[in-house]
Amino acid sequence: MRVLLKNALLMCDVRSEPKVSDLLVEDGKIAGIGNFTEGANDEVHDMSGKLIMPGFVNAHTHAAMTLMRGSAEDMRLQEWLLTKIFPIEEKLTPEDVYYGTMVAQLEMARKGVVAYVDMYFHCDAVAQAVLDFGMKALITRGLTDHDGDNGRLKQNIEYFERWNGKEGLISIGFGPHAPYSCSLSYIDRIARVALELDAPITMHLFESSKENYSLKEIMKTKLRECKVIFAHCVHIPEKDIELLSSENFFVAHNPTSNLKLGNGVAPLQKMIEKNVQVCLGTDGAASNNTLDVWYEMRLASLLQKASDPRNISIQQALIMAIEQGAKAVGLTPGRIEVGADADLIVIDLNKPWYVPLDRIKNHIVHSGNSLDVFATMIKGRWVYYDGEYPTIDAKYVFEKCEEAIGRLIGTTS
């Protein structure tokens, strides 16, 4: 069946201006942009008063941590991890992770996210949740060797063999957790496996001031040859920023989580000036507490404008939230063009904060919010539409999550 979206204000990519157009979707792809006559069997939607644009990308999260939302507040990173998060995570079952991931996807789809990067465990459950919902995800198993590898890397390889490329929705990468939880030799070992499999890597880097190795030491490993999404980079020494300007490196900037855990403000403007490819992440809901990339986009911009209002232009904010995220994840095009996967969001412009309409890109960054998302489409399939989730029984997911939370949090608080 063809899906015909009529009379929309269409922004095909973050570098172009919106224009009124119809959009034709067929077999999960953008089939046409222009003016179209309705076919007898077309699914037709009048999108008058609405903006269609590429969806947001969440370049760093731990999706199933929705189960811990609000359970560990007002703490620094290490206390937060050691006294609250790790004890809960030890009790998580695959079913817990499945429903925690599912509720994260419900939230992200509602807020205009079409793809995300996940670092967690029980990745079979994560992958199944991705397929059942119809989201796109780069899934990585969190890897540490502070207590020995315990088969984690082997498990990650098995996830790759089972799930990579499934239905065009899933990519499997590798997730060395951080320089404080992985030895240099282990990081090198993971990188060699990733290179052999042509798989990406994601890793926390300089989230806090406590790291075991310098970036120069890390770059002596094979990691320097991999495609890597480095999350946070709050405390990266200024002299080392240039080391991240490689074409195969990305920084996932997580401003809310960085602030909430008292880690500070990342040197975003300096990274951009040194040609580092920056995208946006939310981190997990236990440290944010939402999975709202739209909000992260505005906050990232405003934090840098505190010192100079010329920092982080409207265009740069949108590039981070959409284009660079799409490039980092590699599953979604980050643009609307014929032949590309139909990964898009619909924004309801019938709000006071979008007046005047001739400045729509400015309003997206500094006036609008994620609750203005009317619909989210991934690979030509509606995953959220006007208050409904066509692929999932949201009420049942909420009930299963509440059951899990009662068991997990009730015994740790």
Are 208 and 175 in contact by the 8 Å Cβ rule? The answer is: no
Would you tell me how many other CB atoms lie within 10 Å of the CB of residue 64?
A: 30
Alpha helices (runs of H) in 220-323, residue ranges in sequence order: 255-260, 268-273, 293-305, 314-318
CATH number 2.30.40.10 is the correct assignment for the domain at 2-54+333-385: yes
Cite the residue boundaries of each domain of the chain with CATH code 2.30.40.10.
Answer: 2-54+333-385
pLDDT in tens, the chain (413 residues): 899 999 999 999 999 999 999 999 999 999 999 999 998 889 999 999 999 999 999 999 999 999 999 888 888 888 888 888 888 999 999 999 999 999 999 999 999 999 999 999 999 999 999 999 999 999 999 999 988 888 999 999 999 999 999 999 999 999 999 999 999 999 999 999 999 999 999 999 999 887 888 999 999 999 999 999 999 999 999 999 999 999 999 999 999 999 999 999 999 999 999 999 999 999 999 999 999 999 999 999 999 999 999 999 999 999 999 999 999 999 999 999 999 999 999 999 999 999 999 999 999 999 999 999 999 999 999 999 999 999 999 999 999 999 998 888 864 44
Is the backbone peptide bond immediately before 87 cis, with ω within 30 degrees of 0? no
Answer left, alpha or beta for residue 7, where phi above 0 means left and psi between -120 and 50 means alpha: left
Cite the residue boundaries of each domain of the chain with CATH code 3.20.20.140.
Answer: 56-329
pTM for this entry:
0.96
Look at the domain 56-329 and name its fold.
Answer: TIM Barrel (3.20.20)
Angle, in degrees to the nearest 10, between helices 123-133 and 152-163? 20
Distances from the Cα of 35 to the Cα of 23, 24, 195, 338, 379, angstroms:
8, 9, 45, 14, 22
H or E segment at 6?
Answer: strand 2-10
